[in-house]
Amino acid sequence: MRGEVKLWSFTQDPAAVASYGPLETQDGTRHFKIEALRPTKDYFVARIAGVADRKAAEELRNLELYIPRARLPGIEEADTFYHADLVGLQALTKNGATIGTVLAIHNFGASDVIEIKLATGGEPLLVPFTDATVPEIDLDARHIVVVPPVETE
């Protein structure tokens, strides 16, 4: 209503999304300034500059918006990473054998999950992003070590 949109924030402090400046489309060609933000149970309701009615808001449905990395705060804590830093890293076994490449980090509600494109092809591997399944992350060497959970029958 009134041009407001639902907004899901994936920043560490979800409400901070409004403080990082305009949101952008992935290609950076469109920018969206948040004028007002109010929380609801599972998402925010945002008023976006230039979006004045329901029709304009509906045109933004399912649009993924981003904050350019340069506007995000630096990371000072050990073992803390931006998801974007992990995408593209090589996934290795403890023995150094290649499993594949990190495609994405997802959160379907319970916790983070790493999606790995397998070097052998086929369906991507999804593993929980925990200390047990990802005991090592080396950004300098551009790899992670993955210990997939043991399947029980």
Q: In this predicted model, what pLDDT tens digit does every residue of 83-126 receive, in sequence order?
A: 888 999 999 999 999 999 999 998 777 788 999 999 999 999 99
Structure tokens at 62: 């399912």
- At residue 88, the 3 state secondary structure works out as coil
* Other beta carbons within 10 Å of 46: 23
Residue 53 carries which DSSP code? Answer: S
Cβ atoms of 150 and 97 within 8 Å: the answer is no
From the number of C-beta atoms within 10 Å of its C-beta (0-12, 13-18, 19+), residue 86 rates as: buried
Tokens 């790899």 -> residue: 143
Indicate the residue type of 104.
A
The per-residue pLDDT of the chain, averaged, comes to 89
Distance from C-alpha of 112 to C-alpha of 46, rounded to nearest angstrom: 25
Domains of the chain are 4-71 (2.40.30.60), 83-145 (2.30.30.240)
**Rounded to an integer, what distance in angstroms lies between the CA atom of residue 69 and that of residue 47?**
23
Q: Tell whether pTM > 0.85.
A: no
- Give the CA radius of gyration of the chain: 19
**Are 115 and 99 spatial neighbours (Cβ–Cβ below 8 Å)?**
no
Q: Is the pLDDT of residue 1 over 60?
A: no
Query: CA–CA separation, 18 vs 9, rounded Å?
Result: 9
What does the pLDDT look like over 122-143, one tens digit per residue? 999 999 999 999 999 999 999 9
DSSP, residue by residue, 90-122:
EEE-TTS-EEEEEEEEEE-SSSEEEEEEETT-S
